[in-house]
């Protein structure tokens, strides 16, 4: 099953490198990496380019819902996995996602968002 990971972003320069690194350092890599540029005015898109993400620019600032729709329109994967621009995921996150979605029919698609309740993630820049 192919997994497309996407990160919608509007000016998250302070956290985006950690987020993108966490996706690139997975035990099971994504098959496609999309960065949804929601009209960033900072260096976030440059960081995405350095991490090898395909950059998709929104026509205007439209928010998370529009970013998700943009990712869905450009995704090649069977599973679309969205990760917020201030969330770093555990190194096994995509491996777990692959296992959790392996029973789905390959002709369909699944959408998974940051799994707050079922998998360890951590907000970048926040202390607990």
Domain boundaries along the sequence of the chain: 3-117
* Assigned CATH topology for domain 3-117: Spore Coat Polysaccharide Biosynthesis Protein SpsA; Chain A (3.90.550)
More confident residue, 108 or 54: 54
pLDDT of 86 > 80? The answer is: yes
CA atoms of 92 and 94, how far apart (whole Å): 6
Reduce the DSSP state of residue 102 to 3 states and report it: coil
CA atoms of 40 and 31, how far apart (whole Å): 25
Query: Of 108, 115, 111, 70, nearest to 89 (Cα)?
Result: 115
Give this prediction's pTM.
Answer: 0.82
**Burial classification of residue 20, based on how many CB atoms lie within 10 Å of its CB (0-12 exposed, 13-18 middle, 19 or more buried):** buried
CA atoms of 30 and 1, how far apart (whole Å): 10
Q: What is the pLDDT of residue 123?
A: 47
**Please, which pLDDT band fits residue 104 given cuts at 50, 70 and 90?**
low
CB 94 within 8 A of CB 2: no
Q: What is the pLDDT of residue 106?
A: 57
């Amino acid at each position: 099953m192919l997994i497309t990971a996407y990160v919608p972003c509007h000016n998250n320069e302070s956290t985006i490198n950690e987020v993108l690194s966490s996706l690139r350092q997975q035990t099971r890599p994504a098959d496609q990496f999309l960065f949804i540029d929601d009209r960033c005015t900072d260096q976030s898109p440059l960081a995405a380019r350095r991490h090898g993400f395909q950059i998709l620019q929104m026509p205007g600032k439209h928010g998370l819902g529009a970013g998700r729709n943009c990712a869905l329109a450009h995704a090649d994967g069977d599973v679309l996995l969205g990760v917020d621009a201030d969330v770093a995921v555990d190194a096994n996150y995509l491996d777990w996602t692959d296992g959790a979605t392996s029973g789905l029919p390959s002709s369909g698609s699944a959408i998974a968002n940051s799994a707050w309740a079922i998998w360890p993630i951590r907000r970048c820049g926040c202390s607990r």
